[in-house]
Each structure stands twice: as structure tokens, then as C-alpha cells.
Structure 1
Amino acid sequence: MLRWAIIALVVALIAGVLGFGGIAGAAVGIAKILFYIFIVLFLIMLVMNFMGRGRGV
């Protein structure tokens, strides 16, 4: 998912350089949403990993 966020960011940067304002804005929005989803999933997995280590498995 992080890869998709980076791809959307690159598309936004290229569109911004070329002057496509609407496309750049949409791509930036998508990149932000994917980035925040990635961060939330990362934190959830990190907490689950620490909770799982407490067991003697």
C-alpha cells in the first residue's frame, strides 16, 4: 500500500510540473489518503506484534 501512495505522489508531482492542476490535486489527495491508511495499519500491526510477544508461544 505504501508503494501505491508513493506512485500517487509521483503522479501528482509530475502533473504539477506539467501544469495539470486538477489531476495533481486529485493525485495528492489519493496519496494522502493512502499514506494515512498505511500509517494506521502499521500502528495496528505494531501493537498486535507487541501483544503477541507476551505469550510463551
Structure 2
Amino acid sequence: MLHYAIVFFVIALIAAVFGFGGIAASAVGIAKILFFVFVVLAVLSFVASLFRRG
């Protein structure tokens, strides 16, 4: 999921360089959402592994 967030961020950077503001803004929004979903899932996985080890 982090890979997709980075891909959308790169797409946003390229779109911004070429002047496509709307596409860049959309790609940044998607990248932000994917990044925060990744962070939440990573934290949940870490907490679950702590409880599993006991």
C-alpha cells in the first residue's frame, strides 16, 4: 500500500510540473489517503504482534 501512495505522489509531482493542477491535486489526495491507511494498518499489525507474543 505504501508503494501505491508513493506512485500517486510521483504522478502528482509529474502532473504539477506539466501544469495539470486538478490531476495533481487529485493524485495528492489519493496518496494522502493511502499513506494514512498504510500507517493505521502498520500500527495495528505491530500492536497485534505484541499481543500475540504475550
Residue of structure 1 in register with 2:13 after alignment: 13
Listed as ranges, the matches of 1:14-33 within 5 Å are 14-33=14-33
**Which amino acid is the alignment partner of residue 15 of structure 2?**
A
Aligned residues with identical type, % of pairs? 57
Return the offset for 1:14: 0.4
Residue of structure 2 in register with 1:42 after alignment: 42
Unaligned runs of 5+ in 2: none
Return the offset for 1:31: 0.1
- Return the alpha-carbon distance in structure 1 between the equivalents of residues 34 and 9 of structure 2: 10
Unaligned runs of 5+ in 1: none
Runs of 4 or more, structure 1, over 4 Å off, are none
Return the offset for 1:18: 0.7
Residue of structure 2 in register with 1:3 after alignment: 3
Q: TM-score, normalised by structure 2?
A: 0.98
Kindly name which structure, 1 or 2, has the bigger radius of gyration based on alpha carbons.
Answer: 1
**Which amino acid is the alignment partner of residue 24 of structure 2?**
A
